[in-house]
Amino acid sequence: MHNAVCSEIIKFRRNKMAWMGTLIIVTIPLFMIWNRLVVDPQREYMEWLMSVLMLNTLILPIVNGFVITSSMQREYQDRTIRNVLTTPVSREKFLTAKLVVWFLWYLISFCLSEVIVTAGCYVLFPIEFTTGNMRYALSLLTQNNFFSFIVGIPIFLICVKQQTLFYPSMLATLGSAVLQAAGLQVSEELILEACVCPWTAVSISGIVGFDTHYYWVCFVSILLCGLVSFMGVIISFKNQDQ
Amino acid sequence: MEYTIQTYGLCKKYGGCSVVQNVSMHVPKGQIYGLLGRNGAGKTTIMKILLGLVKKDSGSVTLFNQVMADYQSGIYARIGSTIESPGFYSNLTAVENLSVFSRLRGKVDRNKIRNALGVVGLPYQDKKMFSKYSLGMKQRLAIANAIINDPELLILDEPTNGLDPIGIAEMRTLIRRLSHECGKTILISSHQLSEMEQMVDWIGIIHEGRMLEECSYQQLEENRQHSYIRLVVKEPEQVYEYLKKNLSIENIKRPEASVIEIYDLKYGTLELNSRLFTAGFAVAEISKCQNSLEDYFKKLTGGAGIA
């Protein structure tokens, strides 16, 4: 497993899409800092933070989907998957290594983004820059980013199914991002339905409190989505002729 | 005889189409086994089944005397392979590509990478990306990747594709050396008869998914050595009658209008020519011929050529 992960890291280091993705993710808070400084200096702390969250919710799933699509589709298109499997590496290990390295990239990227958000808060809102406020802001962003990654695993399944194609996963990525953003606008009457849908549940879990049952419905829905999708990835890949 | 690869009744269907039908194959240890067949005959599918890339529908595969019921990394680690077109990461150099696959096997050994590239004649200190490689260079890199771990068995699917004539000759020498000097078992597929003739110890002829013949190359040589006399004459009808009635020759064929082929060799070319001349026939050409491997292939496949 360690070998498969190390090999995947070598490939990922030269993945232009991943570098581009990191740049875009890091640009979101930088853009919001610039916006507060130059365009809208009157914007308040909570409003600014929610704007960062909104942009994150929209952009992160898109970048995430594009990165896994490029990483997986290249294996099929360049036919490297045959060389990888005859190395030999078991199909489960190959997929798990892909997932691990994809997650590591995502983790590093959103951690960088959160560092910039923290620095932005310090510069833009020195009064609101308190431990309590920062703990809230970072936990909100971190939870949102983690959940967003988990509900992005179905894109991985589509990547395996589509093989050399790329547009099905691209479309699914855009759909997933739209649903996640829509989760922030859900009315009170539809909140339970939105909690059951894993993609809208990502945003809702950030709005509702930990102590509400809605949060736990969201949590289970997101977790199941990730688990079932990854099982689907393994089953689908194992049954595939290369 | 000890076999490295044995298959029994191997079958594979894609949709409703059978691409491999009841193939039984025996690859002796330490020998070069050529899988010969037209494009689409099922050679690559058989190789993919052996490597676990494609699931068989029925039949059994035995590698190194172990029946392959499921994925067994220990067995596959003893095999080096290239399947179809070389598959490498286009945005990486040759060394980086080999490092990726070496890392999957365990440790990245720079010396092994250097040696493998040296064997196939690719430079070690090359910053060129794989996407910029010529087809011949890509093919060489694929061979380097196959041999890097010093495997006992090499499965090479049309490894000379895209190589220039000198490259083909070098590859042939390398494959022979790997088998005869290093004792490796090599399963190689090709649709180029001339290539196979110069390389293999054993041959399996496959057509439309079926194994038509499997024998040693020596045996194949004996099987196909049906000599005949080829005549080009002005009056083929009369000559044909004369040969049958007057000289009592039975096995005669007329593949073309003015050509007669005599398989019943009771007369040599000199005597036959003399008799025809005496009988007043004008002979434009007389020669003793031998079935080529292509003729033999056609005979086995019922007329289908190799290309």
CATH of the domain at B71: 3.40.50.300
Which residue of B103, B108, B127, B131 to mutate against A (max A Cβ within 10 Å)? B103
Average pLDDT of span A44-69: 88
Query: Over 70: is that where the pLDDT of B65 sits?
Result: yes
Kindly identify which residue of chain B lies nearest to residue A77, measuring between CA atoms.
B87
Per-residue tokens: A196: 């059951």
Sign of the four-CA dihedral A86, A88, A92, A98: negative
Domain with B144, as residue range(s), is 3-223
* Amino acid type, B124: Y
With CA atoms as reference, report the closest residue to B294 among B196, B215, B202. Answer: B196
E strand or H helix that includes residue A229: helix A213-238
For residues B160 and B198, membership in a common domain is answered with yes
Find out whether B99 and B109 touch, Cβ atoms under 8 Å: no
Contact B73 A4 (CB under 8 A): no
CA dihedral B3→B4→B9→B12, nearest 10 degrees, is -160
Q: Are strands B185-190 and B32-37 parallel, antiparallel or unpaired?
A: parallel
Give domain status of residue B303, yes or no. Answer: no
pLDDT of residue A109: 92
pLDDT of residue B306: 54
For residues B258 and B281, membership in a common domain is answered with yes
Give domain status of residue B299, yes or no. Answer: no
B248: domain CATH number is 3.30.70
| Cα angle: B199, vertex B201, B205; to 5 degrees | 90
Per-residue tokens: A18: 């991943």
Structure confidence by residue, pLDDT tens digits, B239-295? 888 888 888 888 888 877 888 888 888 888 888 888 888 888 888 998 888 777 777
Structure confidence by residue, pLDDT tens digits, B217-253? 888 777 766 678 888 988 888 888 888 888 888 888 8
pLDDT of residue A58: 87
Structural domain count, chain B: 2
Give domain status of residue B84, yes or no. Answer: yes
Average pLDDT of span B86-103: 87
For residues B53 and B119, membership in a common domain is answered with yes
Instruction: Measure CB to CB from residue B87 to each of A3, A6, A78 and give the nearest one.
Output: A78
Which neighbouring-strand residues pair with B230? Answer: B261, B287
Query: Over 60: is that where the pLDDT of A208 sits?
Result: yes
With CA atoms as reference, report the closest residue to A153 among A97, A102, A219, A91. Answer: A102
Q: Which residues of B touch A73 (CB under 8 A)?
A: none
pLDDT of residue B191: 78
| pLDDT confidence tier of residue A23, bands split at 50, 70 and 90 | very high
pLDDT of residue B304: 58
For residues B183 and B267, membership in a common domain is answered with no
The SS3 of residue A210 is coil
Find out whether A32 and A116 touch, Cβ atoms under 8 Å: no
Write the ipTM.
0.79
CA distance B247 to A48: 108
For residues B153 and B236, membership in a common domain is answered with no
For residues B22 and B116, membership in a common domain is answered with yes
For residues B219 and B257, membership in a common domain is answered with no
For residues B47 and B180, membership in a common domain is answered with yes
For residues B12 and B69, membership in a common domain is answered with yes
Average pLDDT of span B169-186: 85
The answer to whether A95 contacts chain B (CB < 8 Å) is no
For residues B178 and B248, membership in a common domain is answered with no
| pLDDT confidence tier of residue B71, bands split at 50, 70 and 90 | low
Q: Which residues of B touch A80 (CB under 8 A)?
A: 87-89
- The residue from B223, B247, B277 where one domain ends is B223
Structure confidence by residue, pLDDT tens digits, A62-115? 999 999 998 888 888 888 888 888 877 888 888 999 999 999 999 999 899 989
A88 prior amide bond cis, ω within 30 = yes
Distance between A56 CA and the closest CA of chain B, angstroms: 30
Query: Over 70: is that where the pLDDT of A1 sits?
Result: yes
The residue assigned the tokens 């820059």 is A129
For residues B187 and B277, membership in a common domain is answered with no
For residues B206 and B237, membership in a common domain is answered with no
